[in-house]
Amino acid sequence: MQTRIGLINGVLSELRVSGLTLEGLESEKKGSQLFVPIGGGSYVKAKLETTETVVVGIGADVAVERTLKEAKVELEARIAELEKSRDMLRQQYNQVVGKMQVNRAKMEEVSAKLREGELSGVRQAKKGT
């Protein structure tokens, strides 16, 4: 569950950066010079052809062209959905941890009673012959 929460947080960070980039594009004009990230902290120079449309990934290596406004709306919806999923996972994780702590306390109590010989009906193990 922690791994899944971490993955969701990573995707959320990436989507938020995309949102900031889309907002930044709104103020740019055709022909503006941009630095486009290509990974590993490296960039290429590019000229902005249009701010009317952007290409948006929709999953399974499929991308579609959307207006800037549509792209922002889709991005916000995806962020909201992922935040909801993350919150549900966190809640489930906290429930599991809580149950584990209760069970651990019970096990420690039973273990202490066994060491003290307080539990009736429990036989001592025979020592090896």
Q: Are strands 33-39 and 42-47 parallel, antiparallel or unpaired?
A: antiparallel
State the pTM of this model.
0.71
The CA R_g of the chain, rounded to the nearest whole Å, is 28
Residue 90: predicted pLDDT: 95
Where do the domains of the chain lie, and which CATH numbers do they carry? 2-116 (1.10.287.370)
- Alpha carbon separation from 114 to 5, 47, 108, 109, 117 (Å, rounded): 39, 75, 10, 9, 5
Report d(CA 128, CA 57) in Å as an integer.
67
pLDDT score of 128 more than 90: no
Q: Tokens in use for 65?
A: 């062209």
What would the pLDDT profile of 75-112 be if each residue is shown by its tens digit?
999 999 999 999 999 999 999 999 999 999 889 888 88
Closest to 12 (Cα-Cα) out of 100, 4, 53: 4
Residue 36: predicted pLDDT: 86
What would the pLDDT profile of 12-49 be if each residue is shown by its tens digit?
999 999 999 899 888 888 899 999 888 899 999 999 99
